[in-house]
Chains A and B, each alone.
Chain A
Amino acid sequence: MTDLQVFRDETRQWLEQNCPPSMRSPINIDGSQCWGGRNAVFFSDEQKLWMERMAAKGWTAPTWPIEYGGGGLNKAQAKVLREEMGNLNARSPLDSFGIWMIGPALLKFGSDALKKQHLPPIVRGEIRWCQGYSEPNAGSDLAGLQTKAADMGDHFIVNGQKVWTSYGDKSDWMFCLVRTDPEAKKQSGISLVLFDMTTPGVTPKPIKLISGSSPFCETFLDDVRVEKNQVVGEINQGWTIAKYLLTHEREMIGGFGLTDAGSQSLAEYAVDALGITQGRLANTLLRSDVIRWEIDAAAFAMTAERVTDEVKSGQGVGATSAMLKYYGTELNKRRYELMMKFHGNDAMEWESEASNEGWLPRTWLRTKGNSIEGGTSEIQLNIIAKNILGLG
C-alpha cells in the first residue's frame, strides 16, 4: 500500500468515527454554516463538536503548516481529505474569510510574528475576519481608495470609511487597505493593515439589501489606532497583496456557477415545478432555456476542472480566474431568473410559509450582487481584454 492509500484509510476511519451524524448532509438552511469567531453562533452542539474536532487536527485549514495550527497536508493528501469528506457528505467544519482570504495572504506575504499571532486562532475558529476594501468612492476603481493612515511613529491613526464589509458587524478583526502615502501615485501608496474590530473608533453599520438581508456593512473608521507591527508585508506595498487577494476572491465567487454535488440540478428543479408532458418538460419555451443553461453549466464545470488540471500538469496558462468569475456569476444569475419563471406568480411571495419566507425571491435578488462583488463582470472583461488578449 502506498503512503497515500494508508492516509486515505486512516482519514476515512477518522472521519467515520468523528463526523457527527447531523454534519453528514448538505447545509439546508441559509446562513447556518459555521463561521466561528468570538461570538460564534452554533446551530447545534454537533456543529460545534465537528468544528472543534477538525480544528484539533488542523483540518479546518488542511494545507497550512502544522506550526501555525494547520493540518500540514500536501496537495495530494488534501485532495484525499476532500474526497473522503465528499464520500461522507461531510459539511465544511468552518467557513471563514480567515481561511479563504487573509490566511493565504499571511502565509505568502506576512512576517513570522504575524503568522504566529493570527493563523492559529483562524484554524481554531476563534477569530472571525472581515475585509475592508471598497469605499464609497472606490468600488471598481479600488486603487482610488482614500482611507488615510497617518504615520505616528510606532503606529498609524486611520480615518475613513469602508463599504461592503462582509459580516462587518459579526467579525472580530479586519484586514484593511489604507493609504499610507498620499503623495505617491495611486497604487504605490497603499498598505494592508490588520486591526481588532473592538478598537475605539471602529463602527460597522449593516446595509439592508434589496433581498432584505444584511450580509454587508459600511464601516466607519474614526481615529483608529493601528500598530505598525500589524502591517502585512512592506509599508506602501499593499497593492500587490490586494491584487493577490482579489484574484483569490474571484476564484471563490466564480465557484457560484457550479452546482453543488448532491444538490438538485436546474432540470430536476424545473421538472418538480412544471411537470412533464409526453416525456418533456411541460413548458416548451422554458425547456429550451433549461437545456441552454444545463449545457453552459456543464461546460463551465468542465472548464473549472480543466483549469485545475492544467495548473497541476504545468500545461498552458490556464483560463484565468477573471473568466471563471465572469462566467460563473452570470450563469448563477441566469439560473435564478429561470427558477423564478418556473414558479410564476408564486415566486413573488415574500412572506409566507409556502414560500419558506420568500426564500426564492430573496435568493434571486441576492444573486444580482454576484456579478458586482469582487469586481463587476465589466471589470472582469477588462482584465481578460488587457491581461490575456493584450488589447490596450
Chain B
Amino acid sequence: MALVLNQEQQMLKESAQGFLSEFASITELRRLRDVDDDYSPELWGQMVDMGWAAILVPENHGGLGFGQVGMGQIVEQSGRTLTASPLFSTAILGASIINLAGSSEQKARLLPAIAEGQLTTALAVDESGHHAPANMSLVADKTASGFRLTGVKRSVVDGHSASQLIVAARTAGEAGDSRGISLFLVDPSAAGVTVERIPTVDSRSVASISFDGVDVDVGALLGEEGDGFAALSATLDIANAHLAAELLGICSEAFERTLQYLKERRQFGVLIGSFQALQHRAAHWWSEIELAKSLVLKSLQALDDGNLRAPALVSISKAKLCEVAELSSNEAIQMHAGVGMTDEYDVGFFAKRARPAQALFGGYAYHGDRLASMSGY
C-alpha cells in the first residue's frame, strides 16, 4: 500500500484539525485544569456526534469500521491541541479489546454503546511503574459463581471516570507467563473496588485501582479463561500505534510553533533564526519529524492490513516517536528560552504531555528491547 493518505483519510484529518483547533485548543486544556476536570463531557458528546467513537467499531455493531489510519489522523491532531477525551480509553482501547476478545453477545451489547457514546471504558493492565504486561500478578480466583479479583492496578487512564472497567488478571500461572491471563468486565461501583485518582504532570490524571476480593460472575469474563493475552497484546499494539500518532502531533506542533518563534524573536539586532547554530538544529529536528511521520503511517497501515510485521512496526514506531518527542519538546523549550519555562506560554506543555504518552504502555527502552527480542537478538 502506498505510504500516503487516501481521500477519505485526508478529509478526516482536515475535519479533526478544524474541530479540535476550534473547540479543544490548549485554551480548553487550561480551562479544564482550572476546574480540575480531566475532560469535558460536552466536547466528548460532540466527538461522538461526529462519529469518532465509532471509527474502530465494526459496521455490523453500529460502527464505521474506518480503520486505524483514519483514527490515527484524529489522534495526531489531538496531540497538536493536547486534547483530553475518552477517545483513547474508550474508542481505541475499549472498542479494540471488546472487539478482539468479546463473545458475540458481549460485542452486540457493548460495541454499539461505545459507538453511540453511552459507555466509557478504562483498561487496567499495569501494576508497577514500568509496563510489563506479562508480569501481572493481580489474581482472579475461581469461586462457585465466577471469580474473585484481588490486587492493584496502576496508571489506569480514565480509571476514575469510566463506566466500565476492563481488567487483565491472572487465572493461572505466575508473573512472567503470558498464558493464564484473563480479561474481566468489572463494574467500578462493585463492592471491593477502590479507585484513587492521581493527578499527573500533563494536567490529566490516572487511577490506582484496588481490587479487594471483588466478586464477578462468569459472564464478566471477556473471551476465554486464561487466553486473554493475545487480545490484550493486539490491543496494546493498536494503543501504541495511536500513542505514536499523538506524539507525532505533539512533535509537529512544538516544531511549528518554535519555527515561527525563530522568525519573530530578535536578539543582537537580528532574528534568532538567522543564526546557523539554531538553523542546523532546526533542520535536524525537522528531519527527525519527517522520519517519524513515515513510521506512524506505516504502522497504522500495517494494523489495518493485518500485516504479520505489525507488532514489530508498532514497536519501531513507538520507540522512535519517544525519542523524537523528547527531542521536540526539549528543543521547543530551549529555543524559546526563558518564555519556554513559563506557564503563560503553551510551549512547555508539550513536554508535560509527551512524557506520559511516551511512558504509557512502554517507552523507548521497552519497545527497543521488544523489537530486538522479536528479531532474535
By a beta-carbon cutoff of 8 Å, the part of chain A in contact with chain B is 267, 270-271, 276, 279-281, 287-288, 290-292, 294-296, 298-300, 302-303, 305-306, 309-310, 312-313, 315, 319, 323, 326-327, 378, 380-382, 384-386, 388-392
Q: Give residues 351-375 of B contacting A (CB, 8 Å).
A: 368-369, 371-373, 375
- Residue in chain A with minimal CB distance to B273: A391
Which residues of B are found within 8 Å of A326, using beta-carbon distances? 283, 287
Q: B368 to A291, Cβ gap below 8 A?
A: yes
Which residues of A are found within 8 Å of B263, using beta-carbon distances? 390-391
Bound-complex Cα distance A382 to B280 (A): 7
Q: A315 to B5, Cβ gap below 8 A?
A: yes
Partner of A299, one of B4, B284, B316, B376: B316
Q: A271 to B279, Cβ gap below 8 A?
A: no
Bound-complex Cα distance A388 to B282 (A): 11
Bound-complex Cα distance A310 to B294 (A): 11
Q: Which of B5, B291, B293 has the most CB of A within 10 A?
A: B291
Which residues of B are found within 8 Å of A280, using beta-carbon distances? 372-373, 377
Which residues of A are found within 8 Å of B286, using beta-carbon distances? 323, 384, 388-389
Q: A299 to B295, Cβ gap below 8 A?
A: yes
CB of B298 closer than 8 Å to a CB of A:
yes
Which residues of B are found within 8 Å of A292, using beta-carbon distances? 368
Bound-complex Cα distance A279 to B283 (A): 39
Q: B319 to A295, Cβ gap below 8 A?
A: yes
CB of B50 closer than 8 Å to a CB of A:
no
Task: Tell whether A303 pairs with B372 under 8 Å between CB atoms, given A276-B377, A310-B4, A381-B279.
Answer: no
By a beta-carbon cutoff of 8 Å, the part of chain B in contact with chain A is 2-5, 259, 262-263, 271, 273-274, 276, 278-280, 282-284, 286-287, 290-295, 297-298, 313, 316, 319-320, 368-369, 371-373, 375-377
Q: A385 to B279, Cβ gap below 8 A?
A: yes
Which residues of B are found within 8 Å of A386, using beta-carbon distances? 279
- Ranked nearest first, the 7 interchain pairs of A and B with the lowest CB-CB distance are A385-B279, A384-B283, A299-B291, A302-B294, A306-B3, A381-B283, A309-B2
Q: B371 to A294, Cβ gap below 8 A?
A: yes
Bound-complex Cα distance A323 to B283 (A): 8
From residue B93, how far is it (CB to closest CB) to chain A in Å? 25
Bound-complex Cα distance A290 to B369 (A): 11
Which residues of A are found within 8 Å of B287, using beta-carbon distances? 319, 323, 326-327, 384
Which residues of A are found within 8 Å of B371, using beta-carbon distances? 291, 294-295
Bound-complex Cα distance A322 to B278 (A): 18
From residue A387, how far is it (CB to closest CB) to chain B in Å? 10
Q: B372 to A281, Cβ gap below 8 A?
A: yes
Task: Tell whether A290 pairs with B377 under 8 Å between CB atoms, given A295-B316, A299-B294.
Answer: yes
Partner of B372, one of A291, A327, A388: A291
Which residues of A are found within 8 Å of B292, using beta-carbon distances? 299
Which residues of B are found within 8 Å of A382, using beta-carbon distances? 276, 279-280, 283
Q: B273 to A392, Cβ gap below 8 A?
A: yes
Q: A270 to B377, Cβ gap below 8 A?
A: yes
Task: Tell whether A305 pairs with B294 under 8 Å between CB atoms, given A296-B320, A298-B316, A327-B287.
Answer: yes
Bound-complex Cα distance A386 to B283 (A): 9
Partner of B274, one of A271, A290, A300, A392: A392
Which residues of B are found within 8 Å of A279, using beta-carbon distances? 373, 376
Bound-complex Cα distance A327 to B284 (A): 9
Q: B4 to A302, Cβ gap below 8 A?
A: no
Which residues of B are found within 8 Å of A294, using beta-carbon distances? 316, 371-372, 375
13 CB < 8 A contacts A-B: A267-B372, A281-B372, A291-B319, A294-B375, A295-B319, A298-B316, A299-B295, A302-B291, A303-B291, A306-B3, A306-B294, A381-B283, A384-B287
- Residue in chain B with minimal CB distance to A320: B290
Bound-complex Cα distance A346 to B369 (A): 28
Which residues of A are found within 8 Å of B293, using beta-carbon distances? 303, 306
Bound-complex Cα distance A288 to B323 (A): 14
Bound-complex Cα distance A276 to B273 (A): 48
Q: A302 to B377, Cβ gap below 8 A?
A: no
- Residue in chain B with minimal CB distance to A378: B280
From residue A226, how far is it (CB to closest CB) to chain B in Å? 38
Bound-complex Cα distance A276 to B377 (A): 7
Q: B4 to A315, Cβ gap below 8 A?
A: yes
Q: B291 to A391, Cβ gap below 8 A?
A: no
- Residue in chain A with minimal CB distance to B324: A299
Bound-complex Cα distance A70 to B276 (A): 45
Bound-complex Cα distance A154 to B287 (A): 48
Q: Told that A287-B377, A294-B375 touch, could you supply 18 new A-B pairs with CB distance under 8 A?
A: A270-B377, A276-B376, A279-B373, A295-B320, A295-B368, A298-B295, A302-B3, A302-B295, A306-B3, A309-B3, A312-B2, A319-B287, A323-B286, A326-B287, A381-B279, A381-B284, A385-B279, A388-B283
Bound-complex Cα distance A281 to B371 (A): 13
- Residue in chain A with minimal CB distance to B315: A295
Partner of A392, one of B5, B271, B283, B372: B271
Which residues of A are found within 8 Å of B320, using beta-carbon distances? 295-296, 299
Which residues of B are found within 8 Å of A296, using beta-carbon distances? 291, 320
Which residues of B are found within 8 Å of A300, using beta-carbon distances? 291
Bound-complex Cα distance A381 to B287 (A): 9
Bound-complex Cα distance A292 to B291 (A): 14
- Residue in chain B with minimal CB distance to A303: B294
Bound-complex Cα distance A296 to B323 (A): 10
From residue A388, how far is it (CB to closest CB) to chain B in Å? 7
From residue A295, how far is it (CB to closest CB) to chain B in Å? 5
Partner of A267, one of B271, B273, B295, B377: B377
Which residues of A are found within 8 Å of B368, using beta-carbon distances? 288, 291-292, 295
Which residues of B are found within 8 Å of A281, using beta-carbon distances? 372, 377
Q: B2 to A313, Cβ gap below 8 A?
A: yes
- Residue in chain B with minimal CB distance to A312: B2
Which residues of A are found within 8 Å of B376, using beta-carbon distances? 267, 271, 276, 279
From residue B216, how far is it (CB to closest CB) to chain A in Å? 37
From residue A314, how far is it (CB to closest CB) to chain B in Å? 9
Which residues of A are found within 8 Å of B278, using beta-carbon distances? 391
Partner of A385, one of B271, B280, B294, B373: B280
Bound-complex Cα distance A303 to B294 (A): 5
Task: Tell whether A267 pairs with B262 under 8 Å between CB atoms, given A323-B286, A327-B287.
Answer: no
- Residue in chain B with minimal CB distance to A305: B3
Bound-complex Cα distance A378 to B280 (A): 8
Bound-complex Cα distance A299 to B296 (A): 10
Bound-complex Cα distance A378 to B276 (A): 10
Q: Which of A296, A298, A327 has the most CB of B within 10 A?
A: A298
From residue B12, how far is it (CB to closest CB) to chain A in Å? 15
From residue B259, how far is it (CB to closest CB) to chain A in Å? 6
Which residues of A are found within 8 Å of B373, using beta-carbon distances? 279-280
